[in-house]
Amino acid sequence: MTEKANTAKGIDATDEALLAAFDEALWLEDGLARASRAAYATDLRAAARWLSASDVCLGEARLSDLRDYLAARSASGGFGARSQARAQSALRRFYAWLLRSGRRSDDPAARLKSPHLPRALPATLSAGQVEALLAAPDIDDPVGLRDRAWLELMYATGLRVSESVGLPLHAYSAQQGLVQVMGKGRRERLVPVGDEAAYWLARYLREARPMLAGPRPDEALLLSRRGHAMSRQNAWQRIRLHATAAGISGKLSPHSLRHAFATHLLDHGADLRAVQMLLGHSNLDTTQIYTHVARARLKRLHAEHHPRG
């Protein structure tokens, strides 16, 4: 990293004891998995080794020490903004624990300035990929017909996966072509379903749901093969199964259809406020990211197809 890092003497025994106690607290108090705890340990040990070159213990470091360490880490050129953010997160959690457990009377990491992270654009599907995905389920099977109706519903409404599998039967009104959704913060919204999704939901309700319901039917709209409400885990499994059948590579989740719903609406001129209402976003800034996706797609299409692209 720097000459200072190369002359680090190793981790002080007091720091070793603190790191071991912190790791135990992450497990006992927060239930963190082994991989997450290992990531914290890696970042904190790197900081402890660097500080030891100046005879500073990690447990006794001041704000200026932490700033010097992060500045040297950044200057080395081997760490990006996300890596810096992760290192800061480890330091913040460590010193907050020291303060909370009475091992320190102050928190030197509380005033660290977070690095600016580039906003990641959500991955989305093209219209052709969506069509292939929607056509993938075997509609001769009751669960396949349910999946077709569910995928059509997801793409037509932009529901979160938890919202879709949590829909009670009475939330969908075929007569009005609307679905009543209970979103985050228990905020209700009405979302239009559209003719294509309504057609597949009607077929599912008529042909498949009675076969899945069993003698004591669940009140959920979407049922599993055992007659219970479809679970989030099952939703992830099914969409990956159908993505493979449709020849769609890469990471795909139920949320991908929500991204496609929003992006395709904006691509076709929908008002951002309307998309915000349909998605159930409380803040317009959350919806705003989809305009960047739409712009990126337009730029790519222009570059590919325009004579002077």
| 66 contacts 19 by C-beta, under 8 angstroms | no
Tokens of 84: 């810096």
Catalytic residue among 40, 69, 172, 290: 290
φ and ψ at residue 127, rounded to 5 degrees? -60, -40
Active site residue 155: no
In the set 184, 206, 273, 302, the catalytic residue is 184
**290 labelled catalytic:** yes
Catalytic one among 73, 146, 148, 160? 160
Active-site residue among 146, 258, 259, 264? 258
Residue 199 is a catalytic residue: no
Catalytic residue among 92, 189, 232, 255: 255
Please identify which of the residues 4, 37, 281, 292 carries the catalytic annotation: 281
What does 197-214 look like in DSSP terms, one character per residue? HHHHHHHIIIIIHHHHH-
d(CA 84, CA 77): 11
- 101, 115, 36, 99: CA torsion to nearest 10: 0
* Cα 282 to Cα 185: distance, rounded to the nearest angstrom: 9
> If we measure between CA atoms, which residue out of 150, 278, 281, 290 comes closest to residue 224?
150
In degrees rounded to 5, what are phi and psi of residue 58? Answer: -60, -40
Residue 160 annotated to the active site: yes
The residues assigned a catalytic role are 160, 184, 255, 258, 281, 290
